[in-house]
Structure 1
Amino acid sequence: MRKTILITGASSGIGKATAIHFQKQGWNVIATMRSPEKETELNKLENIQLEKLDVLALESIETAINNGILKFGRIDALVNNAGYGAYGPLETFPRENIVRQFNTNVIGLMDVTKAIIPHFRENRSGVIVNISSIGGQMTFALGSLYHGTKFAVEGISESLHYEMAAIGVKVKIIEPGFIATDFGGRSFDFQAGDIEEYKPIINGLMKQWQNPNNTVSQPSLVAEVIYTAVTDGTNQLRYRAGEDANYLLDSRKKMSDTEFFQMMSNQLEK
């Protein structure tokens, strides 16, 4: 019997690559997105059902889950991928942008998870995969909002794994490094503002991110890591994706706060 996975934010990047990868591995895929009517690739693949799901709209979450169960009989895994990044000096962000960042990356993730747990509990099985980031274990300058959400995802996931174990459900965290996605486009909210004191750090961060020597992985690499996390049958919680993820997270663990902050500050000054 084919297993079924539900993926949020499947219209592009990691979400779309994951949908394609699982479909190729013989899974049924419930690929959810805010505008499924605009999708022109996934709708051509067998055993993929497109569903409208906006993590900020509770009714759409319930409808997508129920439609997926109606179509395929059950759901075996959830990938919470929907989200975006807000970067810039905290002082420059309107409050509505701050609330939207946390509502999307944290509250939305919890709402989708909470909605599917009863189904997993009834089946006494399931896997919940939360897409975090290296930014859930370390930070870049100007990322207080984005990193705040990803640190929250890490804490939520780590605590959730205890109670999910009681009902036969596994929780996994994926920590990608830099990925070749549209994170810098529609999935990115950058507020530079015009405050003179912040301009050097803004320019330094832009240079750091645009460094041609940066290791950038393809979304397909993350999809493979997600597939491993879903299917390996272990209780492993965290999975890294990308060479840069290994380097930066290992450095963060080995160094003191002062040493790591100095290393990151040196990068901003280059």
Structure 2
Amino acid sequence: MKKTVLITGASSGIGKAASRLFHANGWNVIATMRSPEKETELTALADLLVVRLDVQDRDSIDSAIKAGIDRFGRIDLLVNNAGYGQSGIFEATSREKIQQQFDVNVFGVMDVTRAILWHFRANKAGLVINVSSGAGLFTLPTLSIYCASKFALEGFTEALSYELLALGIGVKSVIPHGGVAQTGFQERAGADFAVDPAGLPDYNEFLQRAQRSFGAMIAARMMTSSDVAGVIYEAATDGRDQLRYLVGDDARGFVKARRSMDDQAYVDFMRGQFAG
């Protein structure tokens, strides 16, 4: 029997690349997105259902899962991919923007996961893959809210993996780090950048240094959405009980520093990235 995957945030970037890859490898695919009426490429593929799912709308979550089960009989894998990055100075970021970041990146993942667990329990099998970020392992200035949401996601993913182990349900985290090309992430992050240069001029000098540092990071970016999709597929099919799968180029050494240095040495190393 063909396996079935439900993928959130499948309208572009990693979600769309994953939808294509799983379909090409013989899976039934439930590609979910906020505006399915705009999709033309995926709707042309057989054994691929495009359906509306907005992680902030719990009715749409339930409807998408039901539509997928009605179409294919069962769901074997959930890929929680939908998310975005709120950027900017914390002091200039409104409470409403912070709430929305957590509603999508954390509470949305929790709501979709909770909505499908009854089905996985009934089948005594299933796998949840959460698409996380290097920002859930290390932090960067002007990304405090995004980092906070991804640290929360990493904690949730790890704890949930212990909770569901005895039920035969797996939980894994795929962690792109170093930046992903061919997604709308940078464009949205730039458009939503929170800063008030008139009211908060004290940050101007720091922001100039941070922009230079981020420019170097972006220039070194080599990873594509297809690269990340490949690791998601590996995590789904390798039969291992590995929790975290990292994908990306650690050119700036952030992951290595986090994992190899003692806490203060790591903090000093990271501070040095933005000191001048």
TM-score range, shorter chain: over 0.9
User: Normalised by the size of structure 1, how large is the TM-score?
Assistant: 0.95
Q: Distance in 1 between matches of 2:27 and 2:3?
A: 5
Aligned to 1:214: 220
Q: Which residue identity lines up with residue 179 of structure 1 in the other structure?
A: V
Q: Which residue identity lines up with residue 205 of structure 1 in the other structure?
A: A
Q: Does the alignment pair 1:256 with 2:257?
A: no
Flag structure 2 segments of 5+ consecutive residues without an equivalent. Answer: none
Aligned to 2:185: 183
Flag structure 1 segments of 5+ consecutive residues without an equivalent. Answer: none
Aligned to 2:195: 192
Q: Is the 8 Å Cα contact of residues 5 and 29 (structure 1) preserved in structure 2?
A: yes
Structure 2 counterparts to residues 41-80 of structure 1, below 5 A: 41-80=41-80
User: Normalised by the size of structure 2, how large is the TM-score?
Assistant: 0.93
Aligned to 1:93: 93
Aligned to 2:159: 159
Q: CA deviation at 1:187?
A: 5.6
Q: Is the 8 Å Cα contact of residues 83 and 187 (structure 1) preserved in structure 2?
A: no
Q: Is the 8 Å Cα contact of residues 85 and 188 (structure 2) preserved in structure 1?
A: no
Q: CA deviation at 1:43?
A: 1.3
Aligned to 2:207: 202
Residue among 225, 242, 246 paired with 2:248: 242
Q: CA deviation at 1:163?
A: 1.8
Q: Which residue identity lines up with residue 58 of structure 2 in the other structure?
A: L
Q: Which residue identity lines up with residue 234 of structure 1 in the other structure?
A: R
Alpha-carbon distance change, 198 to 257 in structure 1, aligned in 2, over 3 angstroms: farther
Q: CA deviation at 1:147?
A: 0.7
Q: Is the 8 Å Cα contact of residues 136 and 153 (structure 2) preserved in structure 1?
A: yes
Q: Distance in 2 between matches of 1:154 and 1:16?
A: 23
Moved more, 228-237 or 187-196: 187-196
Q: Distance in 1 between matches of 2:110 and 2:29?
A: 21
Q: CA deviation at 1:221?
A: 0.6
Q: Distance in 2 between matches of 1:247 and 1:73?
A: 45
Q: Which residue identity lines up with residue 233 of structure 2 in the other structure?
A: Y
Q: CA deviation at 1:256?
A: 2.8
Q: CA deviation at 1:241?
A: 0.6
Q: Distance in 2 between matches of 1:143 and 1:167?
A: 36
Among all aligned residue pairs of Structure 1 and Structure 2, give the percentage whose two residues are the same amino acid. 47
Q: Which residue identity lines up with residue 208 of structure 2 in the other structure?
A: N
Q: CA deviation at 1:248?
A: 2.3
Residue among 227, 233, 240 paired with 1:227: 233
Off by >6 Å, runs of 4+ in structure 1 = none
Q: Which residue identity lines up with residue 208 of structure 1 in the other structure?
A: S
Q: Distance in 2 between matches of 1:34 and 1:18?
A: 17
Where 2:2 maps in the other structure, the secondary structure is: coil
Q: CA deviation at 1:213?
A: 4.4
Q: CA deviation at 1:124?
A: 0.6
Q: Is the 8 Å Cα contact of residues 19 and 29 (structure 1) preserved in structure 2?
A: yes
Q: Deviations over 1:139-195 (max 9, x none)?
A: 011222111110011111111011211211100001101111211113663112221
Q: Distance in 2 between matches of 1:226 and 1:244?
A: 19
Q: Which residue identity lines up with residue 210 of structure 2 in the other structure?
A: L
Q: Is the 8 Å Cα contact of residues 220 and 251 (structure 2) preserved in structure 1?
A: no
Q: Deviations over 1:109-159 (max 9, x none)?
A: 000000000000000111100111111011011222111110011111111
Q: Is the 8 Å Cα contact of residues 250 and 256 (structure 2) preserved in structure 1?
A: no
Q: CA deviation at 1:76?
A: 0.4
Q: Distance in 1 between matches of 2:173 and 2:236?
A: 10
The alignment yields a C-alpha RMSD, in angstroms, of 1.6
Alpha-carbon distance change, 43 to 206 in structure 1, aligned in 2, over 3 angstroms: farther
Q: CA deviation at 1:63?
A: 0.1
Structure 2 counterparts to residues 124-139 of structure 1, below 5 A: 124-139=124-139
Alpha-carbon distance change, 16 to 187 in structure 1, aligned in 2, over 3 angstroms: farther
Q: Distance in 1 between matches of 2:173 and 2:4?
A: 19
Q: Is the 8 Å Cα contact of residues 130 and 174 (structure 1) preserved in structure 2?
A: yes
